[in-house]
Amino acid sequence: MTQAETTPRTGKRVLLAKPRGYCAGVDRAVQTVEEALKLYGAPIYVRKQIVHNKHVVRTLEAKGAIFVEENEEVPEGATVIFSAHGVAPEVYEQARERSLRAIDATCPLVTKVHQEAKRFAAEDYDILLIGHEGHEEVIGTAGEAPAHIQLVDGPDGVDKVTVRDPNKVVWLSQTTLSVDETMETVARLKSRLPLLQSPPSDDICYATSNRQHVVKEIASECDVVIVVGSRNSSNSVRLVEVALDAGARAGHLVDFAHEIDDTWLVGATTVGLTSGASVPDELVQEVLAYLAARGFTDVDEVVTANERLTFSLPQELKRDMKAAAARG
Ligand code: SF4
């Protein structure tokens, strides 16, 4: 007899979203810290949280990573890794001044937005950067061309925008925004600035849009959608908002299964489950086990895309790994 045949059917089910969890940029950033620890030994300093996830940060701390806010906290000559969210050029400069061995784990899709910002600034455009004020990624991107970039924090930020020449304006965005809200912001910007140009390719990354797309597919069938992710993870917070906008009766963000409040499940027959791009799947499996213990034993995985993208490790790390391998 199969397990399905022995498990009593309760009529309670989980719709498990796929894609969910780790994206290529997060996977590369976490591997960068792990490989650097193996190669250079502990401690390895990491400027800011390598990715916005409590569990990942704690796990890397246990292996010898030390998370700091700024380069000044890193001893001269030590190794520092810059997080997946990217940094402004002055941060590389500070690292050089302190003779730090800097390894850049910025996601290549964030670097792409930095390159766009530099290019449009060099052509003297006004750049409207749609994003969340204070988010590390936005600080890093804006730092590429502070004189040309102004932040537009959602549709309500549109009225504050002023530009020098309405014929020479482009919008760019943070990679982890809500696709729908960003389009609303762009529509409002265009009603004020009809000649506003769009980025050469989407700035909201594939992982963010794929995770939002599948949540939209399942949301209307769900009494509650649980998103595994941390509160400072922009793409995770957006998933809860997207689920609610798409018809979920309730939505909650949790770092760990034990944070689930059983009252959320009262009267529920369908629970949606997904996770942000910085969340290892073991945390989702723990939530599945938690739900199974409460009668949600049927799990249907709803798949809307298969992701195969991977990024290679930062050049500076690969070079040192190769040299170490050659030394034997
Ligand atoms: S969410 Fe997107 S931009 Fe951010 S690390 Fe992942 S792939 Fe890169």
DSSP 125-152: -EEEEES-TT-HHHHHHHTTSTTTEEEE
Q: What is the average pLDDT across 46-50?
A: 97
SS3 190: helix
Residue-by-residue DSSP string for 78-96: -EEEE-TT---HHHHHHHH
| Cβ contact 203:175 at 8 Å | yes
Q: Write phi, then psi, for 203 (nearest 5 degrees).
A: -85, -35
**Does the beta carbon of 279 lie inside 6 Å of ligand 1?**
no
Q: Kindly report the CA angle at 191 between 186 and 192, in degrees rounded to 5?
A: 100
Question: What is residue 229's DSSP assignment?
Answer: -
Q: How confident is the model at residue 10 (pLDDT cuts 50, 70, 90)?
A: confident
What is the Å distance from ligand 1's center to 109 Cα?
6
Q: What is the average pLDDT across 156-164?
A: 96
Whether 286 is a known active-site residue: answer no
SS3 33: helix
SS3 199: coil
Ramachandran region, residue 151 (left: φ > 0; alpha: ψ -120 to 50; beta: rest): beta
On the question of pLDDT at 148 being above 60, the answer is yes
Q: What is the average pLDDT across 122-144?
A: 98
Q: Kindly report the CA angle at 151 between 148 and 157, in degrees rounded to 5?
A: 135
Q: What is the pLDDT of residue 7?
A: 53
| Cβ contact 277:216 at 8 Å | no
| Cβ contact 198:170 at 8 Å | yes
Select which of 137, 184, 221, 301 is catalytic.
Answer: 137
**Does the beta carbon of 113 lie inside 6 Å of ligand 1?**
no
Q: What is the pLDDT of residue 210?
A: 98
**Does the beta carbon of 105 lie inside 6 Å of ligand 1?**
no
Q: Percent of the chain, pLDDT > 70?
A: 97
- Indicate whether this model's pTM tops 0.85: yes
On the question of pLDDT at 8 being above 60, the answer is no
**Does the beta carbon of 207 lie inside 6 Å of ligand 1?**
yes
Which tokens go with 168?
């020479």
Pick the atom of ligand 1 nearest to 23's CA: 6
- Residue 46 parent element (H or E): strand 44-47
Give the chain's length: 328
Cα–Cα dist 187/52, whole Å:
30
> How many angstroms separate the most distant Cα atoms in the chain?
72
**Does the beta carbon of 175 lie inside 6 Å of ligand 1?**
yes
CB atoms closer than 10 angstroms to residue 72: 8
What is the Å distance from ligand 1's center to 323 Cα?
29
